[in-house]
Amino acid sequence: MIKIAIYGKGGIGKSTVTSGVSAALAVDGYKVMQIGCDPKTDSTINLLGGRTPPPILQYLQEQGKPADLDALVRTGFGGVACLEVGGPTPGVGCFGRGMLTAFELLDEMDAYARYAPDVVLYDILADIVCGGIAVPMREGFADKVAIVTSGEKMALLAAKNIILALRNFADRNYAELGGLILNRRDMPDEVERVSDFAREMDTGILGIIPRDRTIHAFEEHGQTIVEGDPAHSTSARFFDLARTLAAFAQKRDAA
């Protein structure tokens, strides 16, 4: 099993990318768990036909610890196990601490042993990499980090902040940077801009997702493009990216 945290600034398309990768991995025969780590609880909606699982933090607040994981987990397209952390009451509490509470609950309830995923994907909001948002990378919950970005200045700035945070933990054997995922906005010279940034930060581009209205057309029906049209050229990009990420697990097992 490998756990991969998908980071990036708000609105950059992390959930679209993460869900597309989950769907592609599932079609390729991998067992996948996707955990949405955003108070909006919309990470897994396109794997579940427009529905969302009960947010873990809200469930704990209202009903206490569940007797069974079935109360929190919903099975999505291709058998993907879908969960949403949710968020604290607005204006009260720390989302980073809430993530830690949710992750500890999943460990306590042996979620990973029960569902036995080959790949776990955390979809993490990270406009500002505070100590709390950095929980997955610094607490050892994730093995690798992939950062979704475009060529836009603010997206690259957020990516740089995430990389700097990761490198602060480089001597502690925590999560390692896997690379960047370019979710295109079709700005001029976008691939070159992100390629230059990747070289500057001593990393690489794991995959490139084109700007495609077809993605959003399927999302209107609660689907990823991989589910809606697996033969589409943009779906092929998701399969390529999924296989690149899956290779991290193979390299880890070989080591």
- CA distance from start to end of the chain: 13
Tell me which of 28, 42, 118, 127 is the catalytic residue. Answer: 127
Tell me which of 31, 40, 160, 229 is the catalytic residue. Answer: 40
Residue 117: both structure tokens together: 């995923």
Tell me which of 3, 14, 38, 144 is the catalytic residue. Answer: 14
- 144 as an active site residue: the answer is no
- 153 as an active site residue: the answer is no
- 127 as an active site residue: the answer is yes
Tell me which of 3, 9, 38, 144 is the catalytic residue. Answer: 9
Which contacts of 113-117 are long-range, i.e. CB under 8 A and separated by 24 or more positions? 114/69, 115/31, 115/33, 115/73, 115/81, 116/1, 116/31, 117/1, 117/30, 117/31, 117/32, 117/33, 117/81
- 42 as an active site residue: the answer is no
Question: Alpha-carbon torsion 145, 168, 87, 97, what sign?
Answer: positive
Residue 237 to residue 233: CA distance in whole angstroms = 7
Positions marked active-site: 9, 14, 40, 127
